[in-house]
Chain A
Amino acid sequence: GESVGLHLPTLSVQEGDNSIINCAYSNSASDYFIWYKQESGKGPQFIIDIRSNMDKRQGQRVTVLLNKTVKHLSLQIAATQPGDSAVYFCAVLRSGGSYIPTFGRGTSLIVHP
């Protein structure tokens, strides 16, 4: 089955720095990998996804890198802002009728002004 885990439970950065959040996965059959952001007291919010046949995808201030050789996924946030403070989850999507997110453990990002 899928197993998704994160290397660091907490990441503290200064405002303006770049942040890198990492994730390891075990199921090579996943079609998509996704990053979600969860602010305190709220549900997860979709940030960006990457298909398994890609190795990089960029969004607004975010970049996701996928290394299938070592089964590693990362989320890079440029010019981190206090509003980026949240828990970030990587998720793999298993297919079969619909795409079902299976979440990893989560990394808490703390941005200091």
Chain B
Amino acid sequence: DAMVIQNPRYQVTQFGKPVTLSCSQTLNHNVMYWYQQKSSQAPKLLFHYYDKDFNNEADTPDNFQSRRPNTSFCFLDIRSPGLGDAAMYLCATSRGDNTEAFFGQGTRLTVV
């Protein structure tokens, strides 16, 4: 059974049109992460939540925002997608005191 679920698996959006990616988890983990992964590159952390505490990476563009309305759900909002934002977006969860992070299948975003 899927434990970290990302929807949709594939998302096509127009240049400049806001888009939201969603992530849900059944693990009741207190930490949730969003990573951006471009082709043949390592996942790059955008931000993470420890419970309700939001932590933004210093180099995450302002164009990227996140919301975590409850323990189970986390959203990634891209306010004005550019062509350079086309990537796989990975959501992950972990217990704060555990080393293992559980990843979803990812959402592949295409910007046209």
Contacts and interface: CB of A to CB of B under 8 A. Distances in A.
A66 to B, nearest CB: 14
A44 B45 contact: no
Interface residues of A, number: 22
B78 interface: no
Contacts of A98: 30-31, 48, 50, 94, 96-97
Contact of B92 (A41, A42, A43, A105): A43
B104 A105 contact: no
A103 B43 contact: yes
Contact of A97 (B92, B96, B104): B96
Contact of A99 (B4, B41, B99, B106): B99
Given A45-B103, A105-B41, 6 more contacts: A41-B106, A44-B43, A89-B43, A99-B96, A103-B43, A105-B42
Nearest to B30: A98
B90 A100 contact: no
A32 B33 CA distance: 18
Nearest to A31: B99
A67 to B, nearest CB: 20
Interface string A95-109: 001111111111000
Interface of B: 4, 30-31, 33, 35, 40-45, 48, 50, 90, 92, 94, 96-106
A104 B41 CA distance: 9
A4 B41 CA distance: 12
A98 B15 CA distance: 35
5 contacts: A43-B4, A45-B103, A49-B100, A97-B96, A99-B99
Contacts of B44: 103
A34 B33 CA distance: 17
A98 to B, nearest CB: 4
A46 B45 contact: no
Which of A43, A44, A46, A93 neighbours the largest number of chain B CB atoms within 10 Å of its CB?
A: A43
